[in-house]
């Protein structure tokens, strides 16, 4: 039975052994990092552009927020099945196709004449996100020697962290300067640069020929046989649902409740990004000294912030301070959960990573969807309070995961 679960890793392990003596392709690592930056920026840029998008496409802000939901949904499907469905396709070719699709998505969104076409563009970027992220660790292990893999993955994460810092404020700034369409079109040249760079720097990455069948496609779900995996993934999923049911609607909240001006809005989003970047750089120390304590404490802090934003949304200075703390803890939390993967799946880290990508993206989709519906129907109060409830449940499930792990 273990062989079924570990089939996802068999190709990776073989590749590691074969490439130990090969040179490191650091230029390829950096080209993929640029792609990571553009992907994360593409995924979360709508957060700072919801008001402009909804006005231009004549839809509600909640409907505009569904653009994040649909990208998450398509990312889920792609992350679960791309490795098997791609079959014998050279991984360099696959990465180049995904990068080209990223540029295509920016173009479709930028010229979308209506809401439907806008959602098509968002669906495409979701497929790229799921495929790229699920392949990133395996690709890093093919590009550098085994003892350099952690460094390569850290470089990938730096692209993610940088995008989280500047995506929202950059989107808000570009939206004011050249419009929301221009903000998405600006990602096209970045995609082209990443595509050419990867084409020049990545080596050919053929895969072993294998036969695809229904059992191999769904083999990743064998991981759920362990109760701690089920509970842990529920904790992860509910956490990200709670986070993004609130985070997706920060801009309309700041504009309509706190009544911030455009400059202050961009500054607030920048502050959230900067504190988030700081959080990701220092979270390792608390995790080392109290892994599960840290993962339980983070959602509890976010619960307090969610409730406080409802109670004192008219106090601009306090709101900015609360959102700065939110950025600090919310952005650093994924570092802990990604560290949970090798702890929980020591022999199936790649399969566990693919499952984690799927759960996170599905939760982002559900969180932004539920938050958008509540925002349109009942206002921001119900959206933010539902976030607090979800985060409280996430803390409880994380505590249960910790107890099951200790046993």
| pLDDT over threshold 70, residue 315 | yes
The pLDDT mean for the chain works out to 83
What is residue 218's predicted lDDT score, i.e. its pLDDT?
63
Segment 328-343 shows an average pLDDT of: 82
CA–CA distance, 208 with 228 (Å, rounded to integer): 32
Is there a contact between 82 and 133 (Cβ–Cβ < 8 Å)?
no
What is residue 73's predicted lDDT score, i.e. its pLDDT?
83
Planar angle of CA 274, 279, 358, nearest 5 degrees: 100
Instruction: Identify the weakest region by mean pLDDT among 47-56, 308-317, 339-348.
Output: 339-348
| pLDDT over threshold 90, residue 260 | yes
| pLDDT over threshold 80, residue 175 | yes
Segment 275-302 shows an average pLDDT of: 89
Segment 373-382 shows an average pLDDT of: 90
Q: Identify which has the larger pLDDT, 50 or 230.
A: 230
10 Å CB burial of residue 166 (0-12, 13-18, 19+) is middle
Give the architecture-level CATH label for domain 226-407.
Up-down Bundle (1.20)
What is residue 102's predicted lDDT score, i.e. its pLDDT?
92
What is residue 8's predicted lDDT score, i.e. its pLDDT?
42
Is there a contact between 336 and 291 (Cβ–Cβ < 8 Å)?
yes
Q: Identify which has the larger pLDDT, 124 or 159.
A: 124
What is residue 395's predicted lDDT score, i.e. its pLDDT?
97
> Helix, strand, coil shares of the chain as percentages rounded to 5?
85, 0, 15
What is residue 20's predicted lDDT score, i.e. its pLDDT?
45
Give the domain ranges of the chain: 1-219, 226-407
Alpha helices in 186-315 (DSSP H): 187-201, 214-217, 227-247, 250-253, 262-282, 284-289, 291-311
Segment 281-304 shows an average pLDDT of: 91
* pTM, entire model: 0.74
Per-residue pLDDT band for 10 (boundaries 50, 70, 90) equals very low
Is there a contact between 128 and 105 (Cβ–Cβ < 8 Å)?
yes
- Nearest of 362, 343, 78 to residue 238 by alpha carbon: 362
Is there a contact between 215 and 56 (Cβ–Cβ < 8 Å)?
no
- Tokens describing residue 117: 């076409």
- Matching CATH number, 1-219, of 1.10.1200.10, 1.20.1250.20, 2.30.130.40, 3.30.70.100: 1.20.1250.20
Instruction: Identify the weakest region by mean pLDDT among 8-22, 149-163, 251-265, 304-318.
Output: 8-22
Is there a contact between 407 and 292 (Cβ–Cβ < 8 Å)?
no
Q: Do domains 1-219 and 226-407 have the same CATH topology?
A: yes
């Amino acid at each position: 039975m273990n062989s079924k679960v570990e089939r996802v890793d068999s190709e990776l392990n073989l590749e590691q052994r074969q490439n130990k003596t090969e040179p490191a392709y650091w230029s390829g690592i950096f080209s993929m990092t640029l792609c990571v930056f553009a992907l994360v920026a593409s995924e979360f840029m709508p957060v700072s552009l919801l008001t402009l998008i909804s006005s231009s496409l004549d839809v509600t802000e909640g409907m505009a927020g569904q653009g994040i939901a649909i990208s998450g949904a398509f990312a889920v499907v792609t992350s679960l099945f791309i490795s098997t469905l791609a079959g014998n396709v050279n991984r360099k070719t696959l990465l180049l196709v995904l990068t080209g699709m990223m540029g295509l998505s920016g173009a479709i969104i930028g010229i979308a004449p209506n809401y439907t076409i806008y959602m098509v563009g968002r669906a495409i970027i979701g497929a790229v996100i799921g495929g790229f992220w699920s392949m990133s660790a395996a690709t890093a292990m093919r590009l550098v020697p085994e003892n350099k893999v952690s460094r390569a993955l850290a470089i990938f994460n730096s692209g993610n962290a940088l995008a989280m810092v500047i995506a929202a404020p950059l989107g808000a700034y570009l939206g004011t300067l050249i419009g929301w369409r221009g903000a998405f079109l600006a990602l096209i040249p970045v995609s082209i640069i990443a595509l050419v760079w990867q084409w020049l720097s990545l080596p050919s990455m053929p895969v072993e020929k294998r036969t695809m069948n229904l059992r191999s496609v769904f083999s990743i779900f064998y991981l759920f046989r362990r109760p701690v995996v089920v509970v842990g993934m529920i904790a992860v999923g509910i956490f990200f649902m709670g986070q993004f049911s609130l985070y997706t609607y920060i801009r309309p909240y700041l504009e309509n409740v706190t009544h911030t001006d455009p400059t202050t809005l961009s500054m607030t989003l920048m502050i959230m990004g900067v504190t988030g970047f700081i959080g990701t750089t220092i979270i390792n120390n608390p995790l080392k000294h109290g892994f599960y304590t840290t993962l339980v404490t983070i959602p509890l802090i976010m619960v307090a912030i969610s409730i406080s934003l409802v109670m004192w949304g008219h106090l601009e200075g306090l709101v900015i301070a609360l959102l700065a703390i939110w950025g600090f803890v919310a952005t650093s939390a994924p570092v802990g959960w990604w560290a949970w993967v090798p702890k929980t799946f020591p022999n199936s880290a790649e399969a566990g990573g693919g499952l984690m990508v799927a759960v996170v993206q599905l939760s982002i989709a559900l969180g932004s969807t539920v938050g958008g519906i509540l925002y349109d129907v009942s206002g921001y109060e119900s959206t933010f309070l539902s976030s607090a409830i979800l985060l409280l449940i996430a803390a409880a499930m994380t505590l249960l995961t910790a107890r099951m792990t200790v046993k």
